[in-house]
Amino acid sequence: MPDASPLSTFDSTVYRPYSKQLLEEQVQVTPGRRTRSRSQQRARTLEPDKIVIRGAQQHNLRHIDVAIPRYKLVVLTGVSGSGKSTLAFDTIYAEGQRRYVESLSPFVRHFLEKVEKPKVDFIDGLSPAIAIEQKTVSKNPRSSVGTVTEVINYIRLLYSRIGTAHCVQCGDAIAPQNATTMARRLSALPVGTELQLLAPLVHDHKGSLSEIIAQPVRDGYTLARVDGQRNVVLAGLQLFETQKHTIDLVVATLQVPQERDYAWNERLVKAIRAALRLGGGKLLVIMADGEEITLSEQRVCGRCGSIFPELISAHFSPNLPLGMCHDCNGLGTQMEVDPALIVENPDLSILDGALRWYGNMRKKKSHWNRDILQSIADHYQVDLELPWKDLPQKFRDVLFYGSGKEQIVIIHHGERDERNWSYEGANTVSGIVQDIKRRFRETASEGMRDMYMSYMSQQPCSACNGTRLSAEVRAVTLGGKTIHEVGNMTIDRLVEWLDALYETLDDEAFEIAQEALNEASQRLQFMLNVGLHYLTLNRSAPSLSGGEGQRIRLASQLGCGLVGVLYVLDEPSIGLHARDQRTLMETLLQLRDLGNTVLVVEHDEETMRNADWLIDMGPGAGVLGGEIVAAGSPEMVIAEQRSLTGRYLSGALQITSPNGNHRRSPGAGWLSIAGATLHNLKQVEARIPIGLLTCITGVSGSGKSSLINGTLYPALTRALHNTPEGDVGPYKRIEGLKHLDKVINITQDAIGRTPRSNPATYVGMFDEIRAVFANTEEARERGYRADRFSFNVEGGRCDACKGYGQKVIEMHFLADVWVTCKDCQGTRFNSDTLDIRYKGKNIAEVLAMDVQEALEFFADQPKLKRVLQTLHDVGLDYIKLGQSATTFSGGEAQRIKLAKELSRVATGRTLYILDEPTTGLHFADIQRLLDVLHRLVDAGNTVLVIEHNMDVIKTADWLLDLGPEGGDAGGYILAQGTPEEVARVDESYTGRFLREMLHV
């Protein structure tokens, strides 16, 4: 490892600004080729301990030159959109990947993802690079924490090699045995026990069995058990060929002696081996009292004779046909009729519309269903006028699931063809659930299928109870637990279980399992080191946050023990409570101390202060950014007056509430949810004040997302909008719905999944912009309508590139090359469309504007100005109206969604839910976000934020703190009230940090 000199001596100013003179000096152009100059070659030897970047111009980078020390913890920071990720991922990491791929043969490169060369003049000192991004979490529902970390592979191996199999039918332990093991078991029987060893020859077999019988007779065996009759003489045995027969040959009759000496053991082993040979590896032992034991060299149940298959590691995977439950194909859930979706209003009677399936029966002309219900009610002596919630459970079960074998007399009177008719007969009732299932299967109408689907939800598979595994796999235990139970343990408990397993294994099992146990324990320990103690191996990968996914990959990299690697991380602190930041910091420092360079894009204050080298980018966002404002130790950046980050670190600037020290008080009512038990929630009863900014806080894994995203939001969506929003976590009741008329969940999901999606289309501006162009005098003269100015519609778009603005050229083993369309020059529109101008600009030039420029350009268009102003207010001045939606980070996408909601005409009475909206935000951006959130509250709305950022938490009106720990040790509400009140609760980790910030 190179000499690590004190960081304060590192001088990045040694590099001159990148100029034309320097370019000519370093790159000498000769006809037909380009050669590397001597100064470039000299740089390789002069700067071995630095990554040198010159002339970086990817995206908004402005030909920047920077030197990054190797073998250090380097933090890139700056306002959102300043170019941090562009420098770290799109330039440094992308070039490292490209160079590695280029080192491979063309044949291999053909099968790898092609990496485009970043726009940079010169990079030197690159190490092999590994990126740990937010977007790397698998979205496959079959992917889990166990599969991502590969820990589950070692657990499966342990179960397949040293697990104890149990009979699926009777539950007895099953294990393959040899003759010596069997002899040891039989010798342990009480003295004087008489036993008979039988070898099964034939089982339920028709035909002539004389040949099968003849051979044992020639070998000297005389007796057998035939069709259950014991001690039948084999010689001269006659059997009916048309009947099935079972023959078990008597090999030996023994009695357990007082002294079990060598001779007895030899005799017993010899008899057992003979029986196994004749019985094809299977042996029957019959006691004098008639008790029978089955012994086998294979896995066969000794009580019921059930055969257990030989299991391998692949059997314990629900993603493979060998181990998956075949009823649900290894998913663990099935679409089933959900009784909760049938009940419309439990406070009404069935006749008044308590059940969606029947509706309001008083308003219906047909009395068929009403007569059936009345007949069932008469049978069980129930009054149909009672509210649904007061009806006997037995009656409700019959309506839902049927009467079984019990028959009920159905009486019906009606009219048909203007004649009165009646029906009376005893029938069983099938029930609403079976009726919906039958109709769903039989209908050919998509509309009716959708209607029946509205009564269904994902329910645990009845065959595997949600374990996703086959019956044989569920019957294998290790340390007294099935593999599904182990998968549901939190990581900290799983580590304890593995440690206890070490102590219980015998010598042979320990020798077999030692390596797998060590590998699993090591990986789990790394997960503990990055603060993921609360996760379980069965936790679905798509349910992980970006920060959790990053830390899982970070734990995997620690386990690899690589040296000399460049690690590039994108905000690993996402989703971490302030208490857990120290653990993450120690992990990053451990990676560095192994001999690696750790480059982190981060906004967390503690991470910045602990960095060896801090690079602040800016000064603004978008076209106003892309420069190095300051670089050096944190103290050097603080001393730089131009650095906005430095001013926040020094305390010269602070994040404050827009309302100053004033906090709003509850008074407009409460929204409450009681009995929430999803995941680790412990019968939580949460009360959220209406008309306030409320923060849901707590350490990672304490149950915040389970309470809000998993229970409250889908329940409110179903209640307020009558539309199901995924699965709803179990709860008892919700109160306070009268205070709200809608709920909006502003997530960090992408605003579009195709390059054609952009902010203008998402927020609804593009329609208005097209209308503005269509209303110009020249457009009216030509008869152009608004759709003429869309790059998705033929007529106005460029036909050569179909409105993409670029064409892709397949380069085989090189990266595909996107070239600008010659016809439209990248504008995406044809020349006739581009002829139409508004205020001197055509439609392509308007889409190329950033928000700040567009705000001035459309100052006289009220609708457009309102939307653009909201984009400005949430700190998105730098994004372009036509920028591809796929280029936005999760935080940027969330703020675009927030701007869309802000631009609507405010009605109040709306609940806004945001999950960690500070993701990717600089101190200055957080201040702007707070201004927007408080503006929403001032308009009469309720804002609910799941957040770890202490600067946001301290400005909230109300806090709901969960804990005390993550996983099983969490799921309780520790404190609720104003930040000052929570700060006084000693049990709350959030309170302890607030105490320091608020000085209470």
Chunked mean pLDDT (size 10), the chain, 1000 residues:
36 35 36 39 53 92 94 94 90 90 79 79 90 72 87 94 87 80 86 90 82 84 89 84 88 88 87 89 86 80 72 90 90 86 89 89 78 88 91 91 85 57 74 91 88 86 90 92 94 92 88 91 87 87 74 76 88 83 85 92 93 94 88 95 94 88 89 92 95 93 90 90 74 92 85 81 92 94 92 88 78 61 88 93 92 92 91 86 80 83 77 89 90 89 93 94 88 94 94 89
Tokens of 846: 């308007």
Is residue 95 within 8 A of residue 123, CB to CB? The reply is: yes
Q: How many CB atoms lie within 10 A of CB 659?
A: 15
Q: Which helix (H) or strand (E) holds 478?
A: strand 476-478
Nearest CA to 568 out of 952, 129, 264 is that of 129
Q: What is the pLDDT at residue 136?
A: 55
The dihedrals phi and psi of 272, each to the nearest 5 degrees, come to: -65, -45
CA distance to 317, 571, 837, per residue, from 860 (Å): 62, 40, 16
**DSSP annotation string for 369-382:** HHHHHHHHHHHTT-
Nearest CA to 494 out of 481, 513, 506 is that of 481
Angle at which helices 581-593 and 507-529 pack, to 10 degrees? 110
- Distance in angstroms (rounded) separating the CA atoms of residues 198 and 184: 18
0.75 surpassed by pTM? no
Q: What is the pLDDT at residue 506?
A: 87
Residue with token string 């998956």? 324
Q: Where are the beta strands (DSSP E) in 957-996?
A: 958-963, 972-977
Nearest CA to 841 out of 773, 791, 765 is that of 773
Q: Residue type at 746?
A: I
Is residue 872 within 8 A of residue 928, CB to CB? The reply is: no
CA distance to 163, 304, 316, 485, 517, per residue, from 477 (Å): 6, 20, 12, 10, 16
- Distance in angstroms (rounded) separating the CA atoms of residues 922 and 914: 18
Enumerate residues 6+ apart whose C-beta is below 8 A from 447.
none
- As a three-state string, the secondary structure of 451-474 is HHHCCEEEEECCCCCCCCECHHHH
Is residue 683 within 8 A of residue 650, CB to CB? The reply is: no
- Distance in angstroms (rounded) separating the CA atoms of residues 254 and 268: 8
- As a three-state string, the secondary structure of 74-128 is EEEEECCCCCHHHHHHHHHHHHHHHHHHHCCCHHHHCCCCCCCCCCCCEEECCCC
Q: Residue type at 721?
A: H
Is residue 684 within 8 A of residue 707, CB to CB? The reply is: yes
Q: Where are the beta strands (DSSP E) in 162-288?
A: 164-166, 173-174, 194-205, 223-226, 229-233, 245-255, 282-287
- Distance in angstroms (rounded) separating the CA atoms of residues 121 and 369: 79
For residues 36-54, b (16+ Cβ closer than 10 Å) or e, as one string?
Answer: eeeebeebeeebebbbbbb
Sign, CA torsion 946/948/953/959:
positive
Tokens of 587: 């992990």
- Distance in angstroms (rounded) separating the CA atoms of residues 881 and 854: 8
Q: How many CB atoms lie within 10 A of CB 139?
A: 9
Task: For the sheet with 670-676, list strands across it.
Answer: 684-689, 670-676, 733-735
Q: What is the pLDDT at residue 305?
A: 66
Go through the domains of the chain in sequence order and give each one's CATH number.
Answer: 7-132+544-650 (3.40.50.300), 138-176+298-329+464-542 (1.20.1580.10), 180-285 (3.30.190.20), 333-460 (1.10.8.280), 670-748+928-998 (3.40.50.300), 759-854 (1.20.1580.10)
Residue with token string 């919906």? 436
Helices then strands, counting H and E runs in the chain, come out as 38, 36
In Å, how far from its chain's centre is CA 219?
A: 66
The C-alpha angle with vertex 518 and arms to 513 and 523, in degrees rounded to 5, equals 130
